[in-house]
Structure 1
Amino acid sequence: MTDSHKSFASRNWLAGIGFTFIIALVSFGLSKLPVLNHVGQLACAIIIAIIFRQIWGYPEKLREGIQFSSKKLLRLAIILFGLKLNMDIVFHQGLGLLVKDVGTIVFSIVLTMFLAKLLKADTSLSLLLGIGTGVCGAAAIAAVSPILKAKDEDTAIGAGIIALVGTIFAVTYTIIRPLIPLTDIQYGIWSGISLHEIAHVALAGTPAGSDALAIALLAKLGRVFLLVPLSFILIYWMKHKRKTEADSDTKIEFPWFLIGFIIMSLFGSYILNRVIIVPASVMDGISFFTSFILTMAMIGLGLNINLKDLRTKALRPLLAMLITSLFLSIITYFIV
C-alpha cells in the first residue's frame, strides 16, 4: 500500500469514527427533549442509525472507522462500566438481594427461551434479550455478544429493544407507584430486581425518595455483578456446544474485556475515594464518557440493521421478551 493509500485509509478510518461521534452527539441532544428524555440517547442513536441505513445505505467508505466504534469502543465502554459496580456494597449489604437477583436472571433467560421455542422465534436474538432482561440491559447484551458469537445486527436489535421496552416499563412503574400497596423500600427493591437497565431503575426509583432509590440501585448492582459468573458459564456452554456439534472451529475467544471490567470494579470499590480521592465531577465525567462511547458503538451496530429483515426476525423475540418482562414484574411484585 502506497503512502497516499495509507493516508486515504487513515482519513476514512477517522471519518468513520467521527461519523459515529456526530450521531452520538445528535442523539445526546435529542435525549434532552421532552418525551425523548425518557427514551434515552442509546435508543435515539440506534433509531437514527437504522433510519440512515434504510435511506442512504451503509457508508462503505467509512466501514473501518465505524467497526472500530462498534467493536473496540464497545469493549472499552464495558470495561469502564465496571466503575459503576461497588462490589463492597454488594458483598456487605446486598447478599439477601443477590439471591433474588439470581432468580431474576435464571427466570428471565429460561422463560424467554421457552417462549421463543413456542413462538419459533430467532434463538440468538431471543437469548440476547433474555440475558438483557435478566442482567443489565444493553450493557449485558454487548458483553455477552462476543462470547455467543452473535451477529452485530442481533446485538443492535437487542440493545434497541431493551432500551425502548425498559423505558416503557420504568415509566409505567412511576405511574402506578401511588396506586400499589408497597412501602417506598419495597417499591425500590421491586424496581431493582425487575427493571432492565440501571437507567431504568434510576428513573423508576427516584420519585420514591432517596432511600428507595438507594435500595433499588443496590438490587440492580447485584444483577450487574452476576454478569461476570454468567459470562464464564456461557463460555463453558459455548465450548461444550461446539464440541458436541463436532464443529471444526471449537475455539472460543476469551472476552478479555471482562477482566478489565472486574479490575475496574475492584478499583472503583476499594481504591477510589479510599486510597485515591477523586472529585465527584470527575466521576460524573467518566460516567458520561462511558455512556457516550457506548452510544457510538451502538450506532455502528445499528447501521447493520436492515428493516426488511427486522420485521420478520425481531417481532417474535420481542413478544417473548415482553411476556417475560411482564411475568417478571408480576412475580417479583409479590416476592417483595
Structure 2
Amino acid sequence: MSKIVFLAGLVMAASGRISPPVALALGIAYGFSFEHAFQGHARRGAKLLLQVSVVGLGFGMNLHQVLEAGRSGFFYTACSISVALVLGWALGKLLRVKETTSFLISAGTAICGGSAIAAIAPIAEASEEEIAVSLGTVFLLNSIALVAFPLIGTQLHMSQTQFGLWSALAIHDTSSVVGAAAKFGTLALAVGTTVKLARALWIVPLSLGTAAVKKSKARIQWPWFILFFCLAAVADTYVGVLQPAYPVMKQVGVMGLTVTLYLIGSGLSMKTIRLVGARPLLQGIVLWIVVAAGSLALIQMGIVHL
C-alpha cells in the first residue's frame, strides 16, 4: 500500500498539473501517514533532480540579469554567511550541541542547506548520526520556509526583487528557495535562484578551510551544476537558433522541481523529528529566525537591495 500511494503521488507531481507547494504538501502527507517505501532512493533522487532542474530553469534566465543579481548579491552573501557561522558557533556552545553537529547546522544555514552539509560532512569527519541530525534539522526548517515565506512576503507587500533576495539569503536549500520564489513570481524566481547559486559557491572556500583545520584529505565536492546553470543562461541570451527549445527546457526544470519537492516532503515524518532531538533543533530554529528576521529587516529598510 505504501509503495502504491508513494508512486501515485510521484506521478501526480510529475504530471505538471499541480504546483510545487502542493507537491510538497502531498509529500509531507505521505511521510506522516506511511512508512517510506523508498527512503534512500527518494533522498538520492531529490539531490540529482534538483541539480538538473536548476539547469533547466537557467534556460529561462537572461545572462545579464544573472550576472547583475550575482554581482550585487555577493557582498550581502559574504556578510550573511560570516554572521551565520559565528552566531551558529555561539549558539552551539550555549546549548551544548556536539561540536561537529553544530558546525554542520551552521554551515547548512549559512550557505545552502543539505548540499553544504553533504559536502562538508566527510571533511569534518562527521558520523552518520551527526549528518542525519544536521540534515533533519535543516530539512524541517526548509519545509516550514516553503509555506511561510510566500505568506509573509505577501502580507508585507514585498516586491518580487525583495522577496527573491530575502529567500536566497534566509532559506537553506536551493530547492526551497526556488520553490518559494516560483510561487511569488517570475522575477522573484530569477533573483532568488541567481543569488542562491552564487551563495552555493561558498561551499568551496568553506570546504577548503575545513580541510585545512581538520587536516583532512577527503575529496571536496564541487558544485558543478552552477556552471551548467550559467551556460544555460548564456545559451538563452546569445544562441537564438535554439530559442524554440528553451521554453520546453524551462518547463522541464519546473516539473523537475515539483517532483523534487514531493520527494523532499515524503522524507519528513515523526521519526525525523524525533531523530533531530531538542538541542540541535533549537539551535537551528534560533539561528534561522535571527538570519531570516535580520535579513528581512535590512531589506525592508533598503539597506540590503539589488
The alpha-carbon deviation at position 23 of structure 1 amounts to 4.5
Name the counterpart of 2:206.
Answer: 234
In structure 2, C-alpha distance between the alignment counterparts of 1:124 and 1:99, rounded to whole Å? 27
Name the counterpart of 1:8.
Answer: none
| CA shift in 2, pair 1:142/1:43, >3 Å | farther
CA contact (8 A) 2:150 2:181 kept: yes
In structure 1, C-alpha distance between the alignment counterparts of 2:64 and 2:198, rounded to whole Å? 11
Name the counterpart of 2:178.
Answer: 198
Name the counterpart of 1:333.
Answer: 300
Q: Please list every run of at least 4 consecutive aligned residues from structure 1 whose deviation after the TM superposition is greater than 6 angstroms.
A: 15-19, 26-29
CA contact (8 A) 1:157 1:305 kept: no
TM-score (norm 2): 0.71
In structure 2, C-alpha distance between the alignment counterparts of 1:78 and 1:161, rounded to whole Å? 20
Q: Which structure would you say has the larger Rg?
A: 1
TM-score (norm 1): 0.66
Name the counterpart of 2:144.
Answer: 164
Name the counterpart of 1:41.
Answer: 23
Indicate whether 1:151 and 2:131 are aligned: yes
Amino acid at match of 2:181: V
The alpha-carbon deviation at position 263 of structure 1 amounts to 3.9
Structure 1 unaligned residues grouped into runs of 5+ = 1-14, 60-64, 207-212, 244-249
Partner residue of 1:175 out of 155, 162, 168: 155
In structure 2, C-alpha distance between the alignment counterparts of 1:185 and 1:68, rounded to whole Å? 35
In structure 1, C-alpha distance between the alignment counterparts of 2:23 and 2:100, rounded to whole Å? 25
CA contact (8 A) 1:112 1:320 kept: yes
Amino acid at match of 1:82: V
Indicate whether 1:296 and 2:296 are aligned: no
- Aligned to 1:252, the other structure's residue is in SS state coil
In structure 2, C-alpha distance between the alignment counterparts of 1:19 and 1:214, rounded to whole Å? 35
Give the percent of matched residue pairs that are identical in Structure 1 and Structure 2.
11
Q: How many residues align?
A: 282
Indicate whether 1:91 and 2:76 are aligned: no
| CA shift in 2, pair 1:172/1:69, >3 Å | closer
The alpha-carbon deviation at position 106 of structure 1 amounts to 2.9
Indicate whether 1:109 and 2:91 are aligned: no
| CA shift in 2, pair 1:185/1:66, >3 Å | closer
The alpha-carbon deviation at position 297 of structure 1 amounts to 5.5
| Residues 254-291 of structure 1: CA deviation (Å, up to 9, x unaligned) | 426x22x0342133112246433214244212321243
CA contact (8 A) 2:57 2:249 kept: no
CA contact (8 A) 1:170 1:201 kept: yes
What is the Cα-based RMSD across aligned positions, in Å? Answer: 4.0
